[in-house]
């Protein structure tokens, strides 16, 4: 039976679609990769896969649905993945109308070329994949999956370059959108980031001769790897025999890292762009308290992602911080395939109000974002049922009014609350005493940009807030998506 890994509470959050991890130069590399994937599990919970290379048995792979800890800790699975070079991928849990992933969609993908095999794991989303796929199929490519990432393997197959890193450069020059790619040949570990560096990728050192690539630094920490540096936007690294070779296959562009990684996607113990994610989130709370103060008795996070911003809000405002909502950490494992009746309990399956604390209090609730707003309404109901005197929402991101096309699952624009309502309308619809979002400038300040957002040349991707897409989503435009009109 496939474990039930998504529930109504999570359906009202944006979801990172993938995490990637690779290691070279260590004994039993797949074990290191499994640990790295476990640390990156927050980036994708539906499925995971590992490819390893061993000179005697060649390339081996294992792809499974479910959590890393339930699949890649088993001796019989890990015994099939020998070798000192391996890469892995975790994929997020699909929900609603998109349907479930098929095992053939689980990465890494593998291609056998005349110069040897290559496995590829991709975090991000290719915004011209529909068009590319159509062209590739018309020219004879036979796709095995429904994933945009498989285009990379087929584009590599069409390249006339003599080695795999050069073929990969050709392939990635043809794609548009966001990609942090980890790949491996029989002897090389390869890491590449798209020219804008939308999704993260970091390099670490393992022991004397080993290296690791990971979506986040928390993946390096778990295997005891030393953080070396971030792979830079537009950079390719090829690691072999204890050496790291760097090249710049793409034209230069100004970095547009995803600012939502700071707000929500990345783990708070990771370091992004030299900044602690936790500290940025705490600082968002500080900025929120300056921008949107309100008289109240308690500041409570919506756990877990609202916690650092709630701490910052409390520190700046002087209003006591308290755990007014408690999260059940074991929800995902407790109910396998829940009945409809249990599903309808919604947010109560995961969150419970600390009634003794809340009764009679004016409560500020700090959450990371509002997507559809359905969860915000339910949380408000729970807090009022517990006897709160007032409920004030403070949101650690600006209104999410536009979909993401760069590797984050977002509802269609019409389903985003902020796409159809003003802030006051959202406040009334959720039914709270006040609702305030951090401003875009405030978010940039919290992320270390003292002067706020550079309006002519923004320092980050913030398209889901601003509607200004750094790479035109050509597939979506072809399907009729209306970009924001120029101001």
* Tokens read off for 225: 């790897």
Whose tokens are 């070396």? That residue is 228
Q: Does 444 bind ligand SF4 (CB under 6 A)?
A: no
Q: Which is nearer to ligand SF4, 93 or 397 (CB)?
A: 397
Task: Kindly indicate which of the ranges 131-139, 346-354, 378-386, 455-463 contains the residues binding ligand SF4, using the contact rule CB under 6 A.
Answer: 455-463
Q: Does 464 bind ligand SF4 (CB under 6 A)?
A: yes
Question: Which position among 32, 260, 313, 437 is part of the footprint of ligand SF4 (CB under 6 A)?
Answer: 260
**Selection from 99, 109, 88 nearest residue 44 by Cα:** 88
300 is in an annotated binding site: no
Active site residue 118: no
464 is in an annotated binding site: yes
| Rg, the chain, Cα only | 23
118 is in an annotated binding site: no
Question: Which position among 462, 471, 473, 475 is part of the footprint of ligand SF4 (CB under 6 A)?
Answer: 462
Q: Does 404 bind ligand SF4 (CB under 6 A)?
A: yes
Q: How far is the CB of 473 from ligand SF4 (least distance, A)?
A: 10
**Selection from 411, 323, 332 nearest residue 374 by Cα:** 411
**Selection from 374, 375, 393, 368 nearest residue 261 by Cα:** 368
Question: Which position among 461, 471, 473, 475 is part of the footprint of ligand SF4 (CB under 6 A)?
Answer: 461
Catalytic residue among 18, 118, 218, 300: 18
Q: Which is nearer to ligand SF4, 63 or 199 (CB)?
A: 199
In the range 195-214, which residues lie near ligand SF4 by CB under 6 A? 198
Cα 84 from Cα 32, distance rounded (Å): 10
**Burial profile 262-279: b = 16 or more Cβ within 10 angstroms, e = fewer:** bbbbbbbebbbbeebbbb
305 is in an annotated binding site: yes
Q: How far is the CB of 484 from ligand SF4 (least distance, A)?
A: 12
Q: How far is the CB of 198 from ligand SF4 (least distance, A)?
A: 5
Inter-residue contact 388 to 363 (CB < 8 Å): yes
Helix (H, G, I), strand (E, B) or coil at 211: strand
* Tokens read off for 190: 């390869």
Q: Which is nearer to ligand SF4, 433 or 441 (CB)?
A: 441
Cα 332 from Cα 350, distance rounded (Å): 9
Q: How far is the CB of 405 from ligand SF4 (least distance, A)?
A: 7
**Burial profile 374-389: b = 16 or more Cβ within 10 angstroms, e = fewer:** bbbbbbbbbbbebebe
276 has which bridge partners?
A: 271
In the range 56-95, which residues lie near ligand SF4 by CB under 6 A? none
Cα 319 from Cα 307, distance rounded (Å): 15
Question: Which position among 81, 151, 171, 258 is part of the footprint of ligand SF4 (CB under 6 A)?
Answer: 258
Q: Does 418 bind ligand SF4 (CB under 6 A)?
A: no
Question: Which position among 86, 277, 447, 463 is part of the footprint of ligand SF4 (CB under 6 A)?
Answer: 463
Q: Does 395 bind ligand SF4 (CB under 6 A)?
A: no
Q: Does 309 bind ligand SF4 (CB under 6 A)?
A: no
Q: Does 190 bind ligand SF4 (CB under 6 A)?
A: no
* Tokens read off for 20: 């990637």
Half-sphere exposure of 327 (CA within 13 A, CB side): 13
Size of the site for ligand SF4 (CB under 6 A): 11
Cα 4 from Cα 6, distance rounded (Å): 6
Task: Kindly indicate which of the ranges 46-54, 374-382, 400-408, 429-437 contains the residues binding ligand SF4, using the contact rule CB under 6 A.
Answer: 400-408
Helices (H) and strands (E) in the chain, counts: 19, 25
Q: Which is nearer to ligand SF4, 178 or 310 (CB)?
A: 178
* Tokens read off for 427: 């406040």
Q: Which is nearer to ligand SF4, 262 or 350 (CB)?
A: 262
Inter-residue contact 281 to 262 (CB < 8 Å): yes
Q: Does 259 bind ligand SF4 (CB under 6 A)?
A: yes
Q: Does 264 bind ligand SF4 (CB under 6 A)?
A: no
DSSP state of 154: H
Q: Does 406 bind ligand SF4 (CB under 6 A)?
A: yes
State the helix-helix crossing angle for 164-174 and 150-158, rounded to 10 degrees: 120
Estimate to the nearest angstrom the gap between the alpha carbon of 17 and the chain centroid: 6
Q: How far is the CB of 404 from ligand SF4 (least distance, A)?
A: 3
Which residues lie near ligand SF4 (CB under 6 A)? Answer: 198, 258-260, 404, 406, 408, 461-464
Q: Which residues are annotated as a binding site for [4Fe-4S] cluster?
A: 258, 404, 461, 464
Residues serving a catalytic function are 18
Binding site members = 258, 305, 367-368, 404, 461, 464
């Amino acid at each position: 039976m496939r474990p039930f890994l998504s529930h109504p509470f999570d359906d009202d959050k944006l979801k990172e679609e993938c995490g990637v991890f690779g290691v070279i130069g260590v004994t039993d590399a797949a074990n290191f990769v499994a640990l790295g994937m476990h640390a990156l599990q927050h980036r994708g919970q539906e499925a995971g896969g590992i490819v390893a290379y061993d000179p005697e048995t060649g390339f081996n792979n294992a792809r499974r649905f479910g959590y890393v800890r339930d699949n890649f800790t088993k001796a019989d699975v890990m015994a099939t993945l020998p070798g000192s070079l391996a890469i892995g991928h975790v994929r997020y849990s699909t929900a609603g109308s998109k349907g479930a992933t098929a095992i053939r969609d689980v990465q890494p993908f593998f291609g056998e070329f005349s110069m040897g095999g290559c496995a590829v794991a991709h975090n991000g989303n290719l915004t011209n994949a529909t068009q590319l796929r159509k062209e590739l199929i018309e020219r004879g490519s036979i796709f095995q999956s429904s994933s945009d990432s498989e285009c990379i393997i087929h584009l590599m197959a069409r390249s006339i370059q003599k080695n795999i890193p050069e073929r990969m450069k050709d392939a990635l020059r043809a794609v548009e959108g966001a990609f942090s790619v980890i790949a491996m040949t029989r002897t090389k570990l390869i890491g590449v980031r798209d020219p804008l560096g939308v999704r993260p990728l970091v390099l670490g050192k393992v022991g004397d001769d080993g290296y690791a690539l990971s979506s986040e630094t928390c993946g390096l920490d778990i295997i005891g790897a030393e953080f070396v540096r971030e792979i830079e936007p537009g950079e390719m690294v090829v690691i072999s025999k204890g050496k790291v070779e760097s090249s710049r296959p793409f034209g230069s562009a100004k970095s547009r890292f995803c600012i939502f990684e700071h707000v929500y996607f990345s783990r708070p113990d990771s370091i992004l762009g030299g900044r602690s994610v936790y500290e940025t989130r705490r600082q968002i709370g500080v900025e929120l308290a300056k921008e949107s103060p309100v008289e109240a008795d308690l500041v409570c996070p919506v756990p877990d992602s609202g916690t650092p911003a709630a701490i910052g809000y409390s520190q700046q405002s002087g209003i006591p911080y308290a755990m007014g909502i408690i999260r059940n950490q074991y929800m995902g494992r407790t109910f396998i395939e829940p009945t409809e009746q249990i599903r309808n309990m919604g947010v109560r399956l995961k969150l419970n109000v600390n009634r003794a604390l809340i009764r009679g209090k004016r409560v500020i609730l700090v959450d990371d974002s509002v997507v559809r707003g359905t969860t915000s309404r339910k949380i408000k109901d729970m807090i009022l049922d517990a006897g709160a005197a007032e409920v004030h929402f403070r949101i650690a991101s600006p209104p999410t009014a536009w979909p993401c096309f760069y590797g984050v699952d977002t509802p269609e624009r019409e389903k985003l609350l902020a796409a159809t309502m003003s802030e006051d309308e959202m406040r009334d619809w959720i039914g709270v005493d006040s609702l305030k979002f951090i401003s875009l400038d405030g978010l940039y300040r919290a992320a270390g940009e003292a002067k706020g957002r550079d309006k002519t040349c923004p320092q980050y991707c913030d398209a889901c807030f601003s509607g200004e897409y750094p790479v035109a989503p050509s597939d979506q435009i072809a399907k009729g998506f209306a970009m924001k009109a120029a101001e």
